[in-house]
Amino acid sequence: MSAQKKADCDQLTIRFNGLIDSGETDQLFFEVSNVMYTGSLYYYPGFLLLNEQGDTIAREEVKYYGIGTSFQTHLLELTDDISFPFVGRLELFGSYYSKKFCSFPIEIEEAEYVSLEEVEREVVKVALNYAGDHVVIDLGGNDITSEYLEYHFNLTNVQGQEVYTGEIDTDIFFIPVDLLGGAGSYYISVWDGINKKLLPTRHFLIE
């Protein structure tokens, strides 16, 4: 039996998307990526959301073997009342809640009801890893790397200036923030070999 490596929690990428109306009890909709491979697969993971008093507000039912590279859906069912803005902690456990891996301070300014299916079908997903030093870009399983044309992406700032460009050879990749010029608003576009835009331009913010 091999030992699991120590987790590097700050390199996980976590997106909060909103609330899901699941019928009887609302759920908090998070997506998590381990594309930077943090030294752990977080076997049989489950998330808890705690308020500032340490009370459990929401809990996830364990359903995955581990946390993979593409953005993975994690639904936390509310177990107590929640109001926004919310301040607390998001805690990641493994092995069916028998081991705690990570504890993240979290602030959620507001939350709207969203469609699980629509968010999961997004063709371009962008988020910062928890450490805030890399931008993670997931092309949503568009399978664009299987075509014969050469695909590339470019990042522009709000002035329309290109700050970064690169070729695409995988559906999910990450870029160091310090290569982009620091805090600000950015846009990513994906193009084919004849400069035809393939996917909708996506905006993201680095604070």
Could you tell me the CATH number of the domain that includes residue 161? 2.60.40.3080
pLDDT of 38 higher than 70: no
Q: Which residues contact 89 (CB under 8 A, 6 or more apart)?
A: 49, 50, 103, 104, 105, 106
Say which CATH number the domain at 13 has: 2.60.40.10
Secondary element (H or E) of residue 75: strand 72-78
What local confidence, expressed as pLDDT, does residue 73 receive? 94
pLDDT of 92 higher than 80: yes
Same domain (yes/no): 132, 201: yes
pLDDT of 41 higher than 50: yes
Secondary element (H or E) of residue 47: strand 46-51
Number of domains in the chain: 2
Same domain (yes/no): 66, 126: no
**Helix intervals (H) in the chain:** 116-120
Band of residue 2 on the pLDDT scale cut at 50, 70, 90: very low
Beta bridge partners of 138: 125, 172
**Residue 66 neighbours by CB distance under 10 Å:** 14
Domain final position from 116, 135, 156: 116
Q: What percent of the chain has pLDDT over 90?
A: 49
In a domain, 4, yes or no: no
Q: Find the domain containing 134 and state its range.
A: 122-206
Domain final position from 57, 91, 116: 116
Please state the rounded mean pLDDT for residues 32-53: 90
Same domain (yes/no): 13, 60: yes
**Residue 31 neighbours by CB distance under 10 Å:** 20
Length of the chain as a residue count? 207
State the amino acid at position 202 in one-letter form: R
Domain final position from 99, 116, 133: 116
Q: 178, 164 in Cβ contact below 8 A?
A: no
In a domain, 37, yes or no: yes
What local confidence, expressed as pLDDT, does residue 149 receive? 56
